[in-house]
Amino acid sequence: MNWLSWGLPLLSKELIEQAARSRTYVVRVLYAALLFLVGGAVYASIVFSAQGNTLGALGQGAEFYKWLVGLQFAGIYLFMPAIACGAIASEKERNSLVLLILTRLGPTSILMEKFLGRIIPMLMFLLLCLPLLTIAYSLGGLTQEYLWLGILLLVVTVVQVGSIAIFCSAYFRTTVTAFVGCYLLGFGYMLGPMIFVESMDLCLGQGTWAAISYRLPSLLPGGSRYLFQWLERSRLVGSQMFLPFCFLSFAQQGDVIGVLFRCVPTLVTSAIFVLLARFYLLRRAFAEPRNLVLELFYEMDRFFRRLNENGLTRGIVLVRDSADVPEFDPLAWREVNKSAFGSFRYLIRLFVVTEVPVFFLCTLIAITDVGNSVPEYLGLMLCAVWLVVVLIVSVKASSVINVERTRQTLDVLLTTPLTGRSIVTQEMQGVWRLCGVVSVPLLTIIGFKTWWTNGT
């Protein structure tokens, strides 16, 4: 008897399911193609930098390896949330989680088997790099410590991102919300401390945080002291939780103890995320699907309506909603009237929420004495805002047709005289509006950067 199918039925099922899906192989081939393409380009650049002399590339293995691990890190951050976010959330969507809970597997076993079921495919992705690693090693200049520390950091990162994703999957009702939640939580958790420390210095002047972290710990109990020291270190070496920084610093220097020491907080927090996932697995198993953004907007509607009902404004409405029923393009009507990021007044709110902080930060950077670092700070801000914008737009765009399928309305739509092109065009109306709104903060930063660069 296969021990795996006897002892870990859910894991077996997950792996068999994945193995049976043609998508698994398509994604794997795509991943490998991208990896080998970029790896090949890096290798070519190393050889060309040696003026076409292949022998001149000898000893460049460490450089090649650094690129490969960097690519793998990017692969993990891109693929792992997509792989793991649906682990439990998709069971909730299919109403099949309850069936699993009713078995004798138990919630811990369900969670761990699901977790492993998503970790293993990602590790398989990492294995795709082996042929390139042999090339890197054969080029020379790559120490065994650097090699193994890189691999260790990759595996720890898989566990780390997987644990955040599995927590989001257990907490959120749908795969899409789990996916968005995973990226937002991961971003805050990995880069939050660094951004916090840098923001403190930016707002209150250079050296402020260093002064605080030097003086305050002596006034605080032991635990808080470590927190301050850790935050200070976050600034110095990048975030403790963002392991690519650790790879570029400690692993490159061959500091085994340093790397192992820095893996501990990551593994501890990963364990905490898994425990939280276990905690929420049953509590959120029957959570009703909720659109939190829409609910927040409805609440704000009520608040503003109450505020508007006074002697002065007398319930004045500046911009009225479009028709209460669709006239010609029903899907477009639905997108711009019924979705959270579709209607005019909701987009105005999104505009305010995204544009005001960006404008404030741009102004702050300009008036704070950061000298030549202004373009650098603005560049970082552009990257951060771009990431958030890409996340919002890609999730919105990728879900427009999928939501119709999940809601089982796509078949019904396809039997109406609406053509496929018309359905897609109308569904995209909301996405274009959203693109217009979220591009404003991006343009603000770019404009600000251009103005600063040309003005100084």
Partner 1 sequence: MNVVEVENLWVSYGKVVAVRGISFAIPRGEVFGFIGPNGAGKSSTIKVLATLMPKFAGKARIAGVDVRTDPNDVRQRMGYMPDFFGVYDDLTVKEYLHFFAAAYRLPMAKRAGVVDDVLELTDLTHKLTAPVDSLSRGMKQRLALARVLLHDPELLLLDEPASGLDPRARIEMRELLKALSGMGKTILISSHILHELGQFCSRIGIVEAGQLVAEGSLEEIYHKLSLTRVVHLQIANTTSELCQKIRDLPGVRELEEQTDRISVRLDEGIVSLEDFHDRVYQLGGRIRMFQAEAMDMETAFMKLTEGKTA
| Site residues, partner 1 (CB under 8 A) | 324-331, 333-334, 338, 407-409, 411-419
CB-nearer residue toward partner 1: 13 or 338: 338
Q: Which residue, among 114, 109, 103, has the nearest Cα to 170 in the 3D structure?
A: 114
Least distance to partner 1, CB of residue 330, Å:
4
* Closest to partner 1 by CB, 45 or 406: 406
* Minimum CB–partner distance for residue 409 and partner 1 (Å): 5
Torsion angle in degrees (nearest 10) through CA of 79, 83, 84, 87: 170
Nearest approach, Cβ of residue 92 and partner 1 (Å): 16
What is the rounded CA–CA span in Å between residue 443 and residue 445?
5
Kindly state the smallest distance separating residue 345's Cβ from partner 1, in Å. Answer: 17
State the Cα–Cα distance between residues 165 and 356, nearest whole angstrom: 30
- Residue 412 Cβ, how far from partner 1 at the closest point, in Å? 4
Q: Shortest approach of partner 1 to residue 407 CB, angstroms? A: 7
Nearer to partner 1, 185 or 423 (CB): 423
CB atoms inside a 10 Å sphere around CB 325: 8
> How far is the first Cα of the chain from the last one, in angstroms, to the nearest whole number?
74
Q: What angle do CA 285, 121, 241 make, to 5 degrees?
A: 75
306: enclosing H helix or E strand: helix 292-308
Closest distance of CB 312 from partner 1, Å: 32
Cβ nearer to partner 1, comparing 233 with 334? 334
When the beta carbons of 25 and 360 are compared against partner 1, the nearer one is: 25
For the bound state, the minimum distance from the C-beta of residue 51 to partner 1, rounded and expressed in Å, comes to 54
Residue 419 or residue 453: which is nearer to partner 1 going by CB?
Answer: 419
Work out the number of other CB atoms within 10 angstroms of the CB of residue 227.
Answer: 14
Q: How far apart are CA 15 and CA 114, in angstroms?
A: 10
In the block, residue with structure tokens 């809970």: 101
Confirm if 124 and 18 have CB atoms less than 8 A apart: no
Give me the phi and psi of 79, to 5 degrees please. -90, -40
With beta carbons less than 8 A apart as the criterion, state whether 346 and 431 touch: no
| Inter-residue contact 193 to 240 (CB < 8 Å) | yes
Q: Which residues of 383-419 are buried (b: 16+ CB within 10 A; e: fewer)?
A: ebbeebbeebbeebbebbeeebeeeeeeeebeeeeee
Q: Which is nearer to partner 1, 363 or 416 (CB)?
A: 416
d(CA 219, CA 205): 22
- Shortest CB 420 distance to partner 1, Å: 11
CB-wise, 26 or 44, nearer to partner 1?
26
Residue type, 283: R
Based on CB atoms, which residue is closest to partner 1, 222 or 417?
417
